[in-house]
Amino acid sequence: MAVEQFPGEPISQTGRADDDPYAGTGLPALGFRNYWYPVMAAWRLGRKPKAVKVLGEDIVVFRDKGKLYALAERCPHRGARLSQGKCLYPGSGTISCPYHGWTFSGETGACVAKLMEGPEASAAREIAVKSYPVRELRGAVWVFVGDIEAPRLEDEVPEVLSATEDWHGFATWRTYRCNWRIMKDNLCHDMHAPFVHRNSPELMFQPVFPFASRLAAFPLEDDSGIGYVSKDGVPSADYPGLGTFPPKQETWYRFLKPTGRGKEIKAEDRAVVRYGVKYRQSSLMPGATFIGRPSGDYFVLRWVTPIDADSNFYYSWSLFRRQGWWRTLKQRLFWVCWLSWAHDWLFSDQDKRILEKVIPGKELHSRTDAGMIAWRRYAADHARRRAEGDAKPAETLRPPAAE
């Protein structure tokens, strides 16, 4: 295995574009274009421009007088990185290339001056770099990557993410060195959790989650994704010739009662009545996962942003309904002292270790993969695609809802 010769080197999980082992899924190696993606925490973007890579595109994001801009990173003159340049004229909304000072409008991408050629430099405005729609929402910088008019970001995310006055939240983010599809497959109510996470600090002393359950997926009413329902799991089982799972030596310390994680949402629960969230877990376009709790007091949103064919950026929000300062304080402490490291770090690490070493190739699907298969089908069928030569707003390009 390559990792023996080159410890720490990532295994290329996609190979050449014409040799993509996941091509048959209909999910592109570089992610779905024509969607918004979170690309970095907003507080990390100070006075200096920052380079990000999204869906294989190199982008510079910068602020000028508080306003955000995103442009293609490569200067068309001789290829210098605009993220190494700076906003030389604060308030102008421009960025100047670090090499010969070509200066670009953050709004339109047009070259407004070639500083080293004098103010009379000809035809500067005929040169432009691509400009990207960019927004800040819930502490993250979001960029729209695509070829159509960007829809409103608030219409593209669950209500609880944008309703900052009713919800407070925390976010963590990490880079995974694996293709985004491998990452998203893992987040499709995949039946690995009772196995992989059974001894995570978060779940170690609880009974193992029910497994061997039946999973069904349903399209969401607003056509934003699919919701999962699972039924009939068992907490342990005997395997002839092997013994019991979980193995005997792992059962004596499971003395805690299970927490509410396993409960399905019922029609009368606040999650449904107030927020219209019917499913405990759903997969949303273009690669997000939304986890609801029946109480409607706590939701989790996880967004997978493809960086390139071999890495992705994983942004995860824990969102709590505001219920007075005392509850807010307790929720903050709970997240800082426990959830942030027990879940977002150690629990996720158990997946990360596996996903980053996956060897792509032919897959033999089984019952554990029902959620993933449903997601792949839905996503391949419902992705926004730009009709050839067409620049209509996204809504008009949406395929009809699933049956």
Whose Cβ is closer to Fe ion: residue 64's or residue 351's? 351
Whose Cβ is closer to ligand FES: residue 33's or residue 74's? 74
Q: Is 351 in the site for Fe ion (CB under 5 A)?
A: yes
Q: Is 104 in the site for ligand FES (CB under 6 A)?
A: no
Q: Which of 89, 99, 218, 341 binds ligand FES (CB under 6 A)?
A: 99
**Interface positions, 193-222, toward ligand FES (CB under 6 A):** none
The least distance separating ligand FES from the CB of residue 94, rounded to whole angstroms, comes to 13
Q: Is 97 in the site for ligand FES (CB under 6 A)?
A: yes
Region of 24-32, 95-103, 325-333, 372-380 interacting with ligand FES (CB under 6 A): 95-103
Q: Which of 44, 47, 48, 78 binds ligand FES (CB under 6 A)?
A: 78
The least distance separating ligand FES from the CB of residue 128, rounded to whole angstroms, comes to 13
User: How many CB atoms are located within 10 Å of the residue 168 CB?
Assistant: 17
351 binds, among ligand FES, Fe ion, none (CB under 5 to 8 A by kind): Fe ion
The least distance separating Fe ion from the CB of residue 310, rounded to whole angstroms, comes to 20
Whose Cβ is closer to ligand FES: residue 53's or residue 100's? 100
The least distance separating ligand FES from the CB of residue 92, rounded to whole angstroms, comes to 17
Region of 100-108, 165-173, 227-235, 381-389 interacting with ligand FES (CB under 6 A): 100-108
Q: SS3 for the chain, per residue?
A: CHHHHCCCCCCCCCCCHHHCCCHHHCCCCCCCCCEEEEEEEHHHCCCCCEEEEECCEEEEEEEECCEEEEEECECCCCCCEHHHCECCCCCCCEEECCCCCEEEECCCCEEEEEHHHCCCCCCHHHCECCECCEEEECCEEEEEECCCCCCCHHHHCCHHHHCCCCEEEEEEEEEECCCHHHHHHHCCCCCCHHHHCCCCCCCCCCCCCCECCEEEEEECCCCCEEEEEEECCECCEEECCCEEECCHHHCCCCCCCCCHHHCCCCCCCHHHHCCCCCCCEEEECCCEEEEECCCCCEEEEEEEEEEECCEEEEEEEEEEECCCHHHHHHHHHHHHHHHHHHHHHHHHHHHHHHHCCCCCCCCCCCHHHHHHHHHHHHHHHHCCCCCCCCCCCHHHHCCCCCC
Region of 48-56, 74-82, 201-209, 224-232 interacting with ligand FES (CB under 6 A): 74-82
Q: Is 102 in the site for ligand FES (CB under 6 A)?
A: yes
Q: Is 80 in the site for ligand FES (CB under 6 A)?
A: yes
Whose Cβ is closer to ligand FES: residue 77's or residue 357's? 77
Instruction: Report how far apart, in Å, the C-alpha atoms of 113 and of each of 99, 105, 172, 340 are.
Output: 13, 9, 39, 47
Nearest residue to Fe ion by CB is 351
Whose Cβ is closer to ligand FES: residue 106's or residue 371's? 106
The least distance separating ligand FES from the CB of residue 109, rounded to whole angstroms, comes to 14
Q: Is 344 in the site for Fe ion (CB under 5 A)?
A: no
Q: Which residue ranges make up the site for ligand FES (CB under 6 A)?
A: 75, 77-78, 80, 97, 99-102
Q: Which residue ranges make up the site for Fe ion (CB under 5 A)?
A: 351
